[in-house]
A = this chain, B = another copy of it.
Amino acid sequence: MTGSVRLLLADDEHLIRGALATLLSLEDDLVIVAEAASGPEALAMARAHEPDVAVLDLQMPGADGVKVATSLRAELPGCKVLIVTSHGRPGHLKRALEAGVRGFVPKTVSAQRLAEIIRTVHAGNRYVDPELAADAIAAGDSPLTAREAEVLELAADGAPVAEIAERAALSQGTVRNYLSSAVSKLGAENRHAAVRLARERGWV
């Protein structure tokens, strides 16, 4: 019924990208029209080749899969995006779906399974790995306000309050208040543990 599905493959790891390209090419109805090793390159390739489905790694240098997906959605609405990831953090899934991504799978699936999912997505359906979906639902929505999240993010690399205050253009007292409320909302022992928790749940 359909002709072949034209694919863009983006992953910064040569080994994996190449291997994947070979494996997917074995499927009769899939053809890889472009490959990319970075976010910007993926975008450029997509513009040049207008693939039916873009298979993007979540973590790439330059711009991550979700950012690329956002741009693609605007420029090539017909191109479906499928995100593949090693570390399935709940928050990423949410961000990805908001960016209009049509599929989200961990790298633990087999190539056959991936091929099927590519077809599913190409047919206009969505596919989200059940386990990741369950995690995302379990993690729920972020209880943090925008400011709390922002301050927490600035605290992520261990910067002292003074520096956070400066970078966020807030008073030190305010920063401490936000951190304090974030910490208590997350049930953490201190801000650093809070950062860790928020990271795990994908809230930062």
The residues of A with any CB-CB pair to B shorter than 8 Å are 12-16, 18-20, 22-23, 26, 84, 86, 106-111, 114, 157-160, 188-196
Contact = CB atoms under 8 A, between A and B. Distances in A.
B108 A158 contact: no
Most B C-beta atoms less than 10 A away, residue of A18, A19, A189: A19
Contacts of A107: 13-16
Given A16-B19, A20-B15, A109-B15, A190 B86 contact: no
Contacts of A86: 13, 86
A165 to B, nearest CB: 14
A159 B108 CA distance: 32
29 contacts: A13-B107, A13-B108, A14-B107, A14-B108, A14-B109, A15-B16, A15-B84, A15-B107, A16-B16, A16-B20, A18-B23, A18-B110, A19-B19, A19-B20, A19-B111, A22-B26, A22-B111, A23-B23, A157-B193, A157-B196, A158-B188, A158-B189, A158-B191, A158-B194, A158-B195, A159-B193, A160-B189, A160-B190, A192-B192
A161 to B, nearest CB: 11
A15 B159 contact: no
A195 to B, nearest CB: 7
A175 to B, nearest CB: 15
Nearest to A11: B107
A106 B191 CA distance: 34
Given A158-B195, A159-B193, A114 B15 contact: yes
Contacts of A12: 108
